[in-house]
Amino acid sequence: MVIATRTMTDEQRKSVALEYLKAFDNGGVTSSGDSILSLFAEDAQVYFPKWGLANGRDQIGQLFSDVASTIESIEHHFSHFNWVFSGDDLLVCEGTSHGKHQDGAWRAGVPEWGAGRWCDVFEIRDWKIQRCFIYLDPDYAGKDSDRYPWIKNSQENQGD
């Protein structure tokens, strides 16, 4: 790990996180035309549910490639983000999204129990993402309902 040399403000760290989220909506390309991976430190870590922990840019690239191969499109709802700053290099973004997965479409709140709500925990220093832990339901299309009786009952009552 590299020793931090530049102090960043909360707003500067937020701008890096926003660039990362916007790159997802743009097929993994940043506003400057670079790969989303350019936003990460060489030894960064990313966690994604049902994938696990990716260490370093090569594994992060594999994680993003694996996840992207299942998603046709995604759009984050930037105007609805909640930001929590926790001193030093840590910030949290809670938000919603909609899009199309290989198994079907999703939109936060439709249905209320479905995919589209997420929370990312970032550690950002020296203008690079050091750590990003992503918390969401990776069952975007809501197909994993047999294991959850409350969802199955809800679907049967609504005729889904």
Residues 56-73: tens digit of each pLDDT: 999 999 999 999 999 999
Residue 157 pLDDT = 65
Based on the number of CB atoms within 10 Å of its own CB, is 32 exposed (0-12), middle (13-18) or buried (19 or more)? exposed
Number of domains into which the chain is organized: 1
Q: What is the pLDDT of residue 140?
A: 86
Q: What is the CA radius of gyration of the chain?
A: 17
| 110: DSSP letter | B
Distance in angstroms (rounded) separating the CA atoms of residues 71 and 159? 26
Domain of 115, in residue numbers: 10-158
Cα–Cα distance measured from residue 74 to residue 89, given in angstroms and rounded to the nearest whole number: 27
The mean-pLDDT minimum among 43-52, 89-98, 101-110, 146-155 falls in 146-155
What's this model's pTM, rounded to 2 decimal places? 0.89
Does residue 15 fall inside a structural domain?
yes
How confident is the model over 80-132, as pLDDT tens digits? 999 999 878 999 999 999 999 999 999 999 988 889 999 999 999 999 999 99
* Domain-embedded: residue 95: yes
* Cis previous bond, 111, omega within 30: yes
Residue 1 has pLDDT above 60, yes or no: no
Run of H or E including 87: none
Do the domain assignments include residue 1?
no
pLDDT over 60 (residue 160): no
**2 belongs to a structural domain:** no
Q: How far is CA 129 from CA 6, 79, 138, 147, 153, in A?
A: 14, 22, 22, 35, 41
Instruction: Indicate which CATH number applies to the domain containing 154.
Output: 3.10.450.50
- C-alpha–C-alpha distance, residues 51 and 132, integer Å: 14
Q: What is the pLDDT of residues 11-41, one digit of tens each?
A: 999 999 999 999 999 999 999 999 999 999 9
Residue 57 resides in a domain: yes
Residue 4 domain-assigned (yes or no): no
Q: Is residue 83 part of a domain?
A: yes
Q: Confidence band (pLDDT; 50, 70, 90) for 148?
A: confident
